[in-house]
Structure 1
Amino acid sequence: MQRFFNCCFELEFYLKIAISCAMVQQVFYLLLEKIELNFITQVVLYWLIGSISFYAIGIFIEKFIKSNDVLRDKLTVRVKKVKKQEFPAFTIKGIIAGEIKAFMSVSIILYLAPEVHRGNSLLLNLGWFWMRIVAADFCFYVVHRLFHTKSFLKIHLKHHEFQDTSSFVAGHKSLLEYIIVTITDVLPILIFGYDITQVCAWTLIGNIYNLEGHSSLSIFFIPSDFHDLHHTGFNGNYGIHGFWDRVFKTLNPLSKKPGIMFPVSLIESNIINPYISAKQATHNKFDD
């Protein structure tokens, strides 16, 4: 029973990503359907959506949600406390360097990948995004686990300057790590081609769950302290979420966040766990 719910808990994350991306893709399709986009306009659009959403979502989480004591306490998923750290302030130089890096990456990705028009079939896009998140999680797991080996650790140390996490720690990487992670994330695009509406949807939703995952909050996509435990313990929990860590036995025991946004953990905490506890208590009573 517990294994079944653990599997459902992890698949819920994939399904939520796939459904969200498919819905957002429909919006982009309607907006861009009758507009002819050449290579340059696609690059600019892809870059702007990624950059604007990254800063807007991060500022919203850090300045609106975390500054509200009620919301912060309600949504905080971190269980193991760590010493608070000061995060580096944004500088004009840092922002410009980051945007140049992002623009170059977007240009190279769209130049190398073949363009494929997949239309607005909801089921087709749902299947594509499901495949996309499962594959991206696997690729990230492999690379992230390699980053924690002796040979590649130096590449990753900049990201681990913080045990206490903030949304913007998601972008706190060395240049080499940024390049490698970007390649692993876009590998399905390079293999199977890209549809600009899918790419834009994936970028927007990807920024949301990545920033939320580094915020120590459980808002909509992140149902546990999975990634907080990785930053705290510097070991295990290498994937985007827990599926591949469970498969390869590198999953650290995590604390799930029950709630209406996370129906699997809500059912587990309110129905299954009390049932198991009651059954165990009855069993112990008869043993006595």
Structure 2
Amino acid sequence: MQNFFNFCFEIEFYLKIAISCTIVQQVFYWLLHDTKLNLITEVLLYWLVGSISFYILGIFIEKGIKSNDVFREKLTARVKKVKKQAFPSFTVKGIITGEIKALIAALIILYLAPEVHRGNSLLLNLGWFLMRIVAADFCFYVSHWLLHKKFLQKIHLKHHDFQDSSSFVAGHKSLIEYIIVTITDVLPIFIFGYDITQLCAWTFIGNAYNLEGHSSLSIFFIPSDFHDLHHTDFKGNYGIHGFWDRVFNTLNPPTKKPGIMFPVSLIENRIIKSSITLDRSIKSIE
């Protein structure tokens, strides 16, 4: 039973990503399907969607949700407490440097990746995004696992300046790690090809779950303290989510956050509570 719930727990995350991306892709398709885009326009669009959504979503989580004591207490996923840290503040130089890197990355990706026009078929897009997240999770798992090996560990230490975490820690990494992570993220694009509407949707939702994953909150996508434990313990939980860590036996078991947004955890929690209540009733009768 436990293995069944663990499997459903991982699949729920993948399905949330795929369904959310499919919905957002429909919006981009509706906005762009009558518009002829050349390479430069696609690059600028891809870059702007990624950059604007990163800052807007991050500020919304940090200044909107986390600044509210009630929301923060209710949505906090972190169970293993660590000493609070002061997070780096934004600087003009840091923002400009980050945006130049993002723009160059967008240009290289769209110049090299094969473009495939897939239209707005819901089923086709859902399948593409489902393959995309499973493949991206595997690629990220492998690269992240390697970054924790001694010969590459120094590259990754900047990201691990923080045992505690905050949304914008997602972007706190060295240049070499940024390149490695970017290559990792785009590998599935070279396998499956890209449609600009799919790519924009993936970038938007990718920012959403990445920022949430570093926020120590469970809002919609992140159903546990999976990545919090990785920052706390510096080992295990190398994937985007726990599927590949379960497969390769590197899982640091997370605490699941039950709630209406996380139906698998909610059902599992209620079954466990019912089982405990039943056991106590039987023992009292005996």
**Band of TM-score, shorter chain:** over 0.9
C-alpha distance in structure 2 between counterparts of 1:152 and 1:98, whole Å: 22
Q: CA deviation at 1:277?
A: 2.3
Gaps of 5+ in 2: none
The structure-2 alpha-carbon separation of the partners of 1:33 and 1:255, relative to structure 1 and needing over 3 Å to count, comes to: same
C-alpha distance in structure 1 between counterparts of 2:106 and 2:145, whole Å: 25
Match of 2:65 in 1: 65
C-alpha distance in structure 2 between counterparts of 1:59 and 1:240, whole Å: 22
C-alpha distance in structure 1 between counterparts of 2:157 and 2:84, whole Å: 19
Alignment of 1:148-159 (within 5 A): 148-159=148-159
Q: CA deviation at 1:190?
A: 1.5
Q: CA deviation at 1:279?
A: 5.5
C-alpha distance in structure 2 between counterparts of 1:267 and 1:16, whole Å: 17
Match of 1:208 in 2: 208
Match of 1:276 in 2: 275
Q: With structure 1 as the length reference, what TM-score do the two structures score? A: 0.97
Alignment of 1:1-288 (within 5 A): 1-270=1-270, 272-278=271-277, 280-281=279-280
Query: For residues 106-131 of structure 1, what are the alpha-carbon distances to aligned partners after superposition, in whole Å with 9 as ceiling and x for unaligned?
Result: 00000000111001000000000000
Q: With structure 2 as the length reference, what TM-score do the two structures score? A: 0.97
Q: CA deviation at 1:193?
A: 1.4
Q: CA deviation at 1:44?
A: 0.2
C-alpha distance in structure 2 between counterparts of 1:69 and 1:31, whole Å: 38
C-alpha distance in structure 2 between counterparts of 1:115 and 1:254, whole Å: 38
Query: For residues 186-219 of structure 1, what are the alpha-carbon distances to aligned partners after superposition, in whole Å with 9 as ceiling and x for unaligned?
Result: 1011122110000000000000000000000000
AA partner of residue 269 (structure 2): S
C-alpha distance in structure 1 between counterparts of 2:19 and 2:195, whole Å: 17
C-alpha distance in structure 2 between counterparts of 1:81 and 1:191, whole Å: 40
C-alpha distance in structure 2 between counterparts of 1:3 and 1:280, whole Å: 21
C-alpha distance in structure 2 between counterparts of 1:164 and 1:109, whole Å: 32
Matched position secondary structure for 2:123: helix
AA partner of residue 252 (structure 1): N
Q: CA deviation at 1:66?
A: 1.0
Q: CA deviation at 1:280?
A: 4.8
Aligned residues: 286
AA partner of residue 115 (structure 1): E
C-alpha distance in structure 2 between counterparts of 1:239 and 1:110, whole Å: 25
- Which deviates the most, 244-253 or 209-218? 244-253
Query: For residues 54-80 of structure 1, what are the alpha-carbon distances to aligned partners after superposition, in whole Å with 9 as ceiling and x for unaligned?
Result: 000001111111111111111111111
C-alpha distance in structure 2 between counterparts of 1:148 and 1:172, whole Å: 16
Identity, in percent, stands at 77
C-alpha distance in structure 2 between counterparts of 1:13 and 1:123, whole Å: 18
C-alpha distance in structure 2 between counterparts of 1:254 and 1:87, whole Å: 24
